[in-house]
Every structure is written in C-alpha cells, then in structure tokens.
Chain A
Amino acid sequence: MELLQQQVMAGLANGAIYACMALAVVMIYQAIDHLNFAQGEMAMFSTFIAWQLMAWGLPYWIAFALAVVMSFAAGVVIDRVLFRPVQKAPILSQIVAFIALFSILNSSAGQIWDYTIKSFPTPFGHTPLFGGTLIDTHEAGMIGVTLVMLALLYVFFRGTRLGLAMRAAAANPESARLVGIRVGWMTALGWGMAAAIGAVAGMLIAPVVFLEPNMMLGVLLYGFAGAVLGGLTSPAGAVAGGFAVGIIENLAGTFIPYFGRELKLTFALIMIVVVLMFRPSGLFGRRVVSRV
C-alpha cells in the first residue's frame, strides 16, 4: 500500500509536467479549434531563449519574464505568418504546416545551441520534501504554478468579456463576426497566450528533464494525452488529465513486470484510448450535443 502511495506521489510530480503542457495544448485548442503539434517545440525554443538571456547575465526572473513576453509575441507572429495562410485549407494541410514548424524549430534550436544537455535553474530549489525521494520543492512548485495558471485561465475565460469573445471566435467564427468580434485578433491572442503558457511550461520542465532540443518530444505527447483524457473543452480537465497520465504511467511502470520503460508510453496511451471509448468526450469534457 505504501508503495502505491509513493508511486502515486511520484506520478503526481511527473504529472505536473504533463499537466502544464496539457494546459497549453487546451489553450491553443480553445483558440483555433484543433491541436498544434509544434507546441512542444515552441516551448522548448522559449526555454532556450530564457537560458540564453541568463547566459548573457540577466537574473532568473527577468529572463523568465522576458521569455514569456517574447513568446507571446512570437505566438502572434506565428499565427499571422504561418497559420493565417492555411486557415482555409483542409485540416490535413494545416497539420502538415504544423509539422513543418516543428521541424524548423527543432532544427534551428539544434543549430543555434547544439545538442549537448544543459542544466536549467529553478527558483524553487531541489530540496526533497516529505523526507523522501519522491517529490522535491521544485516539483511542488511546478504543481503550484500550474494550478495558479489554471485558476487565472478559468477566471479569464469564464469571467471576462474578452474570454467569452475568444471562446466564441474559436467556436463559430462566422457568428462571432456577426456580433462584432474581431476574429482575427482573437485567434492571434489565443496563439500568444498558448505560446506564453508553453514558455512557462518549458521553463518549469527543463530543470527536471534537462535542456536540449529534443526534450519536449515525449512530454508533448503525454501532454496531448492528458488534454484529451481530461476533455479538450476544459482547462481544469486538462490539468487533471495531465496528473492522471503521470500517475498511470508511473503505476504501469512499477506494477506491470513486462513493460518496463519501453512500453510505458504505449500502455499509457492504450489506457487513455480505453477511457475514451467509454467516455468519448474525456473524463471532464462537456458532451457536445448536436441536433442534426
């Protein structure tokens, strides 16, 4: 029983990473109504920028803030330059555009900062908590920051006019125009916010997985899985989903003998698919009822 508890805790710690990423994923989904495969690479690139700023001598929090702001701007630019031209194209073509972005960011990061692993500082320190080796202050900090971001987003989307406008623009752009919403700006805003959240996620994750161009590959997938599990309509669900994925992954790795590290990912995904078969809109998603 104690092993179970410990593994759940460890899973929560890991899950904080996925929850953070899942939040960014849901954010972009709310803005543009589908997923952006390059989300992880954008986060990775932002983290490298922060690293570079610190390497040039800026203190942590200044670099952090600058990276977030620059990521927001970059998100808006990517929306204008990359997403706009393919907006009216079939979804598969948009996906290929995202794949292209992924490739560009990954390769550029590798070229600029090379592939050696770098360490990234954390404001929370790495002191172990609760006397064990399961969760330390940084991981607790991650969970905290994720929850704070979640709360802010919730308030933004449900409680403000701008949030409502963004949701409307994503859900039904034509009707949104008819009520006077500037849909183009809303989409850009959504991209900016997603990029900013991604930056925060990246900077929280880097101290754990270490900074290198391929660091986000696995994380993004788990983030997607968490977001889908939680239901793509709900940021809270995404966060919960992210934690759930972390726990599932850890438990699978510990308790199922054959799987070990290799098949952990597959198992986690299969679990999620099974859940989705019984609850197609995810655990916390709102069922969208459409009358034919």
Chain B
Amino acid sequence: MMLQVAGLDAFYGQNQALHGVGFALDEGKVRTLLGANGAGKTTILRSICGTVRVRGDITFDGKRVSGWATEDIVRLGIAHVPEGRGTFVRMTVEENLQLGAMTRHGRREIAEDIERIYINFPRLKERRAQQAGTLSGGEQQMLAVGRALMLRPRLLLLDEPSFGLAPLIVEELFEILRRVNAETGVAMLIVEQNAALALELAEHAYLLETGRIVLDAPAAVIGADEAVRRSYLGY
C-alpha cells in the first residue's frame, strides 16, 4: 500500500475534527471521500499534507510523514489541489505551471510537461500569458490540476474539484482526470460533494460523518445501494 492512514486524529486548535480515521490507497488507484459539509473530508487531505495538527499514523511509501513539514511531504510526490484552488493570481498561467515543477530538475522535461498539460487543457494554452486571477472558475480549476500534475506526483489529492463549476465543465474535468490516471498511473484521492460523478471515477469510496468513517466499500457497491444513496448521498 502506497498510502496508509491509521488512528488519525486531527485538531483545529482544541477542536478535534477527525477521530481515529483509517484507510489505505494503492498505487494508481482512485478513491473518493464522501460526506456532508463539515464531515472532515478536507481535514483528511490537509492531514496528509501536514497543514493541520495531527496525532496518529500517516505512512507514505513506508515513511511516516505525520508531523513532517508540508514542503517535505510534497517532495515525496504528493500534490494537493486545495479547496479554493490556491492559484497564484498575480502570476501568469505559464508561471503557475512552472511553479508546480519547482521541486523538479531538468528544464527540458519540465517544458515538455507544460506542453502536455496544454494538450490536456487547451483552454489554458490560449491564456498562457494571462494573469491567472482573470481566468474563470473552471479554467482556474484546470490550472490548479495542471499545476499539481507538473510535480509528476505519485499521489494527487483533489479537494472538491467540482465546486462552483458548471456541470459541463465538471464532466470535462473528470474525463481529463480519468485519462490522466489511465495514462500516468497517478493515484488519486478525491474529496467530492458530487457523489455520483465521484463514484463513477473511483474504485473505492469512504463515507465520512462528523470525523469518522462510517462506510468503507467499493464504489460500485455504494452506488448500487439505494438506502445508502438516499440517506447519505442525497440521490
């Protein structure tokens, strides 16, 4: 298992947001975290990245990363597309992509990767010299994903990629994610409110409620279970 989480507690100040969360993720697999607002999905991603105070075990590639600084965790090959995208708004699209590759060396490979991103996200290519802050929501999301991919990550963490996007764009985005996963074998952990789309992409899902995992099952199973869908996922 590439990523293993066990007995994870996370804290915002004195508030405990996660209680004994445990799950695992294998190379190249896509899994999704579902649940209502405030359930702790974003907190899990932040815990993996080291942005939040944690207690418990997070192991990546056999290394125990709980307690590491974010910069060091990122260098292991974990890329995070945060809530709100975290775009560098004052920099150009191209610069944002270059920043994604900050920890890598090899100018030619980086340039090739940028071209590859432009192929995947043609809209970004049109706007390569534009200030990132002027892009629309959908384009900024694409840029955020593109920037994360520039790291050539082994694990991609996506926090609500569909947030605030029109349904057509969301479908486009998820199609791209599927393609990227198929072509490069990058594992993905996706936090999503749009359960239907997430369950199509993922092979396994975890359902969170107030900081605990209440359901841990393959995506197909959850998708097929009407009772679960109706009471937890709202469709």
In the complex, per-residue mask of B114-150: 1 if CB is within 8 Å of any chain A CB, else 0: 0000000000000000010110000000000001000
Asked if B234 lies at the interface with its beta carbon under 8 angstroms from chain A, I say no
Q: Report B84-117 residues with CB < 8 Å from chain A CB.
A: 86-91, 95, 98-100, 102-103
Asked if B74 lies at the interface with its beta carbon under 8 angstroms from chain A, I say yes
In the complex, per-residue mask of B59-91: 1 if CB is within 8 Å of any chain A CB, else 0: 000000000011100110001101000111111
Asked if A180 lies at the interface with its beta carbon under 8 angstroms from chain B, I say yes
Asked if B49 lies at the interface with its beta carbon under 8 angstroms from chain A, I say yes
Q: Which of B86, B87, B91, B103 contacts A180 (CB 8 A)?
A: B103
Asked if B151 lies at the interface with its beta carbon under 8 angstroms from chain A, I say yes
Complex Cα–Cα for A151 and B82 (A): 36
Residues of A within 8 A of B79 (CB): 178
Q: Which of A168, A178, A181, A288 contacts B82 (CB 8 A)?
A: A178
Q: Which of B74, B90, B91 contacts A178 (CB 8 A)?
A: B74
Q: Are B99 and A177 in contact (CB under 8 A)?
A: no
Complex Cα–Cα for A174 and B82 (A): 10
- Please tell me the number of chain A residues within 8 Å of chain B, measured between CB atoms: 23
Chain B interface main SS type: mixed
Q: Report A117-167 residues with CB < 8 Å from chain B CB.
A: 161, 164-165, 167
Q: Are A178 and B70 in contact (CB under 8 A)?
A: yes
Q: Which of B89, B90, B103 contacts A179 (CB 8 A)?
A: B103
Q: Which of A176, A178, A289 contacts B80 (CB 8 A)?
A: A178
Known contacts: A178-B70, A178-B74. The answer to whether A171 contacts B90 by CB under 8 A is: yes
Using a CB–CB distance below 8 Å, which chain A residues touch chain B? 161, 164-165, 167-168, 171-172, 174-183, 233, 286, 288-291
Using a CB–CB distance below 8 Å, which chain B residues touch chain A? 49, 51, 69-71, 74-75, 79-80, 82, 86-91, 95, 98-100, 102-103, 131, 133-134, 147, 151
